[in-house]
């Protein structure tokens, strides 16, 4: 009687010196699990919600009303020849999308730890779930923004065709930030404690409730290099034709996104090998 040969053992090892095309290939291979996770996040968010997607619009609408009361009635801030509710709502739609993409993307590895420790799949797709699922709320907000612009007789511009590109860029930038922070948050939980405070500071330093024109001229050039400010200004320019973002600001925003994606890929690959043991 002869012994049957033992089955071959397959050892999975991380690949060193991976190229960008390899990372894109991982994203493509993980498109199935990405779609499942996106559907899960959207269904969980609105499951048993009486008002459903109305909640996606309620927060920016209420915040816009408060901003209008404080900054128009009390302080009388200028709004670049755009009705202030349109001005503020455009900034809030972009900010809330960016805020969700970063916050949920940073926590994504921890919240999906049960899935990560049970089955292998390209984990680089997990931080991408947050900007993709949050895009639904953002698009609903953009539709509401168009309605508010029509109510306040703001003249819509042909540049509104660029709005999807603005939303896409915000999501990509949010993914880049989340890709950098998610593996660090899985190892050092301090990131999740500091992040809300850092995002709150970023909101105050961005032209969400006020125009860049109120910033002192001596530091305005530095202010316009803020990628979030560039994203907000781009939305307002695309929809209602307000002052466009500066060319230098656009270059810095694109360069920052590319740099953060590169850094995020490096951090993710270095932490991925021990992620299951440390999450």
End-to-end CA distance of the chain: 48
Angle at 113 between CA 108 and CA 116, to 5 degrees: 100
CA atoms of 214 and 109, how far apart (whole Å):
40
> Per DSSP, which regions of the chain are E strands?
none
**Whole-number mean pLDDT of the chain?**
84
CA atoms of 181 and 103, how far apart (whole Å):
10
CA atoms of 203 and 187, how far apart (whole Å):
27
CA atoms of 191 and 185, how far apart (whole Å):
5
Residue 43 CA, chain-centre distance (Å), reads 19
pLDDT digits (tens, 9 = 90+) for 41-80: 888 877 766 666 777 788 888 999 998 898 888 877 777 7
Across the range 268-272, mean pLDDT stands at 81
> Does the pLDDT at position 279 exceed 80?
no
- Which pLDDT score, from 0 to 100, does residue 6 have? 52
> Does the pLDDT at position 11 exceed 70?
no
- Which pLDDT score, from 0 to 100, does residue 181 have? 94
Which two structure tokens, joined as six digits, stand for 202? Answer: 């970023």
pLDDT digits (tens, 9 = 90+) for 92-149: 999 999 999 999 999 998 888 888 777 777 788 999 999 999 999 999 999 999 999 9
CA atoms of 255 and 64, how far apart (whole Å):
31
- Which pLDDT score, from 0 to 100, does residue 120 have? 76
Contact assessment for residue 212 and residue 185, using Cβ atoms and an 8 Å cutoff: no
Which two structure tokens, joined as six digits, stand for 29? Answer: 């291979």
């Amino acid at each position: 009687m002869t012994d049957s040969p033992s089955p071959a053992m397959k050892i999975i090892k991380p690949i060193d010196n991976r190229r960008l095309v390899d990372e894109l290939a991982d994203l493509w291979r993980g498109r199935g699990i990405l779609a499942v996770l996106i559907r899960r996040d959207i269904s969980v968010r609105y499951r048993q919600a009486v008002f459903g997607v109305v909640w996606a619009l309620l927060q920016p609408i209420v915040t816009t009303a408060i901003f209008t009361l404080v900054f128009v009635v009390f302080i009388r801030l200028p709004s670049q020849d755009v009705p202030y509710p349109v001005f503020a709502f455009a900034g809030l739609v972009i900010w809330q999308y960016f805020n969700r993409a970063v916050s949920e993307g940073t926590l994504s590895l921890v919240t999906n730890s049960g899935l990560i420790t049970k089955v292998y799949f390209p984990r680089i797709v997990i931080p991408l779930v947050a900007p993709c699922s949050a895009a639904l709320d953002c698009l609903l907000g953009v539709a509401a923004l168009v309605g508010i612009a029509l109510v306040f007789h703001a003249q819509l511009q042909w540049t509104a065709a660029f709005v999807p590109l603005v939303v896409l860029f915000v999501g990509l930038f949010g993914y880049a930030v989340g890709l950098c922070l998610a593996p660090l948050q899985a190892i050092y939980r301090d990131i999740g404690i500091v992040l809300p405070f850092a995002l709150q500071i970023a909101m105050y330093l961005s032209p969400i409730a006020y125009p860049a024109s109120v910033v002192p001229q001596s530091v305005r050039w530095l202010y316009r290099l803020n990628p979030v400010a560039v994203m907000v200004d781009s939305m307002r320019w695309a929809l209602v034709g307000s002052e466009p973002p500066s060319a230098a600001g656009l270059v810095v925003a694109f360069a920052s996104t590319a740099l953060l994606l590169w850094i995020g890929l490096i951090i993710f690959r270095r932490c991925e090998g021990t992620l299951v043991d440390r999450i």
